[in-house]
Structure 1
Amino acid sequence: MNIEKMNALLAQMQAMQQATSGQPVSNLPSVASDSNGVDFKTILKNAVQDVSNAQNSAQAKVQAFSTGDSNMSLEEVMVSLQKANISFQGMLAVRNRLVDAYKEVTNLQV
């Protein structure tokens, strides 16, 4: 997931948070899609797929190292595991923020 997409996602989340707190919202981005035609569902799906790919890659490197592959170093395995862990932790943080935003939206008085 690139930085521009993450920034767009964060802007959408901040706008949703402003809307739920009763603050005036200026330049509310479209929740359905941005100017590039990429919708929130696609961004989230790609992010989850990236995390899954990182975890699968790390697992494959662990297996290669444990079977004695001479091309796989311990350092490479550890870096891959840390990248997978960091991406998973980031995804958990995004999920928690989305759940919090959903709870705030469902508690709105109409």
Structure 2
Amino acid sequence: MDTKNLDSMMARMQAMQAAMATGLPGAPANTDPKAGNGVDFQNILKNAIENVSNASNVAQAKAQAFSAGNSDTSLEEVIISLQKANLSLQGMIAVRNRLVDAYKEVTSLQV
């Protein structure tokens, strides 16, 4: 994954976040008819996890290519891809922590 792809992915994620926050028509539609209006949280989460996995795989592949002596891969590319993968993982961990906190809060509500 190069810088253009990461920038594009970040722009799409920010646009989706803004659309979901404001309820704009650009927000992803929910495919579950029982859930009513809203977003398909499962697909959004699945795509985010796949993006983190892809970033990690790309970083690992670049690191292996560099360690194998591939002249097409520079140390700078390896470091940048590793940092991108790290940032993606940190973001996913933050989302997971927020989801766990929300779950704990919902389960502690008195009915």
User: Does the pair score TM above 0.5?
Assistant: yes
- 2:29 is matched with which residue: 37, 48, 68? 37
Give the root-mean-square deviation of aligned CA atoms.
2.1
Corresponding residue for residue 34 of structure 2: none
* RCO higher in structure (CA 8 A, sep ≥6): 1
Give aligned pairs, total. Answer: 89
What SS is found at the alignment partner of 2:105?
Answer: helix
Matched, 1:5 2:16: yes
What SS is found at the alignment partner of 1:105?
Answer: helix
Per-residue CA shift, 1:47-85, capped at 9, x if unaligned?
A: 000000000000000000000000000000000000000
Query: Which aligned runs of 4 or more in structure 1 are off by greater than 6 angstroms?
Result: none
What SS is found at the alignment partner of 2:73?
Answer: coil
Q: Share of identical aligned residues, percent?
A: 64
Matched, 1:100 2:101: yes
Corresponding residue for residue 22 of structure 1: none
Unaligned runs of 5+ in 1: 12-26
Q: Using structure 1 for the length normalisation, give the TM-score.
A: 0.73
Corresponding residue for residue 90 of structure 1: 91
Residues 35 and 53 of structure 1, relative CA distance in 2, 3 Å threshold: closer
Matched, 1:55 2:56: yes
Distance 1:52 1:42 in 2: 15
How far 1:8 sits from its partner (Å)?
5.3
Unaligned runs of 5+ in 2: 1-8, 31-39
What is the one-letter code of the residue matched to 1:89?
Q
